[in-house]
């Protein structure tokens, strides 16, 4: 069953690019004691993700943080090198770019997408959530087009 509003974020690990290379980051590191907007994309460098989804959060970052959000994080089921390069190419250095390389966190949320028909394997569905101290207070999962998980939708909900 998919994660829902009121649920605690499951324990898990991400990889981020540190100054000296890849570094593990736990869900506790990301969510405990903080208000976090986490949005997930089916893939770095894919059309909608690169043209609209990530750029929207880059543009609206200050407005979102102005609503009391400590961290805005982008998650993708890609390796940390791809996620880091994508973040740099999109001027997203002020966002927390989380690699869910094997899709383990997407699986734990039960928000996976089967992209095998496109040669992409298991991916994350496109979603955005607001997490208050590890508990989901808003979850918007997009069925197709970028809609409820956009930066504008999240900003309106804050």
Neighbouring CB atoms inside 10 A of 152's CB total 14
How far is CA 94 from each of CA 72, 74, 98, 119, 140, rounded to the nearest angstrom? 8, 11, 12, 31, 23
Contact 63, 158 (CB under 8 A): no
Q: Which of 3, 25, 37, 49 is catalytic?
A: 49
Query: To which residue do tokens 């994350």 refer?
Result: 124
d(CA 7, CA 22): 29
The CA radius of gyration of the chain, in Å to the nearest whole number, is 14
Contact 81, 152 (CB under 8 A): no
Residue 49 appears among annotated catalytic residues:
yes
Question: What residues act catalytically?
Answer: 49
């Amino acid at each position: 069953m998919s994660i829902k509003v009121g649920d605690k974020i499951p324990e898990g690990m991400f990889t981020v690019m540190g100054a000296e290379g890849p570094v593990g980051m736990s869900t506790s590191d990301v969510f405990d004691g903080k208000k976090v907007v986490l949005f997930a994309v089916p893939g770095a460098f894919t059309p909608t993700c690169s043209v609209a989804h990530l750029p929207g959060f880059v543009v609206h970052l200050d407005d979102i943080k102005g609503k009391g959000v400590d961290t805005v994080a982008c998650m993708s089921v890609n390796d940390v090198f791809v996620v880091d390069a994508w973040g740099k190419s999109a001027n997203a250095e002020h966002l927390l770019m989380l690699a869910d390389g094997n899709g383990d966190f997407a699986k734990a949320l039960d928000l996976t997408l089967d992209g095998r028909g496109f040669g992409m394997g298991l991916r994350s569905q496109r979603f955005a959530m607001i997490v208050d101290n590890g508990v989901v207070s808003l979850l918007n999962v997009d069925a197709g087009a970028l809609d409820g998980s956009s930066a504008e939708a999240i900003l309106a909900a804050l």
